[in-house]
Amino acid sequence: MTTGTGNTTVHLAVYDTLADWETGHATAWLARAGHTIRTVGPAAGEPVTTLAGIRIVPDLALGDLRPEDSALLILPGADTYDEGD
C-alpha cells in the first residue's frame, strides 16, 4: 500500500514452524529502503512459534489481508508446509 510518504507495505507470512532464518536479509533491506514490514498470520494477535522457538504475534490475520494493500507478500518455508490448510 502506498502511503503519503511513498512508502509501501510488505507483508511477511508467519505461522508455526516458520523457517525464521529465511527472511532476515530480505526484510532488513526492504525496511532500510523505506518499506513498512507487517506480519500476517492465521489469526491476528494469536502467537505463532518458529522453528527456533521464537514467538511472533501477527499484526494482521491472513483473512483480513487485501492484495491491493500489499506491495509484496513474503512466504517463507516451514516444516508444516504440506500438512493441509
pLDDT (tens digit per residue) in 1-35: 444 445 599 999 999 999 999 999 999 999 999 99
Reduce the secondary structure of the chain to three states and give it as a string: CCCCCCCCEEEEECCCCECHHHCHHHHHHHHHCCCEEEEEECCCCCCEECCCCCEECCCEEHHHCCHHHCCEEECCCECCCCCCC
pLDDT at 1: 40
pLDDT at 85: 58
Please determine, looking at this structure, whether the domain spanning 9-74 carries the CATH number 3.40.50.880: yes
Is the pLDDT reported for residue 63 higher than 70? yes
- Model's pTM, two decimal places? 0.83
Which one has a higher pLDDT value, 38 or 84? 38
Torsion sign, CA atoms 22, 50, 36, 11: positive
